[in-house]
């Protein structure tokens, strides 16, 4: 099996009134912009109690390129739209088994 990495961004709404605006921004703008970087194989945007976006990358080099070349601009745009009212966490996951 070829190991894949997932770059996962979780958004917790401290202000639930932002839910509609966040969903519109993510679906209409942010996800497409991040995917257009060419660094990711696919992406999923999901909601439970929090929101989660999982981007699959083919290699550490692709993730490193995203973080250095694209993430600062993407994060700045996100913060411009949502300066307060939510908490963002990020994690990188390595797939150990896929069936």
Q: What are the sequence ranges of the domains in the chain?
A: 5-93
* End-to-end Cα spacing for the chain: 10
| Rounded-to-integer distance, Cα 81 and Cα 63, Å | 24
Q: What is the pTM of this model?
A: 0.89
Cα–Cα nearest to 39, from 15, 55, 24 = 55
Indicate the helix (H) or strand (E) that contains 75.
helix 71-81
What pLDDT does 2 receive? 58
Beta bridge partner(s), residue 42? 56
For domain 5-93, give the fold: Alpha-Beta Plaits (3.30.70)
Residues of the chain with pLDDT under 50: none
């Amino acid at each position: 099996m070829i190991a894949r990495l997932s770059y996962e961004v979780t958004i917790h709404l401290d202000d639930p009134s932002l839910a509609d605006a966040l969903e519109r921004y993510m679906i209409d703008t942010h996800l497409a912009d991040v995917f257009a970087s060419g660094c990711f194989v696919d992406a999923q945007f999901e909601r439970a109690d929090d929101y989660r976006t999982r981007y699959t990358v083919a290699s550490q080099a692709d993730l490193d390129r995203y973080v250095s070349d694209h993430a600062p601009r993407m994060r700045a745009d996100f913060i411009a739209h949502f300066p307060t009212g939510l908490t963002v966490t990020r994690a990188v996951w390595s797939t150990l088994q896929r069936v």
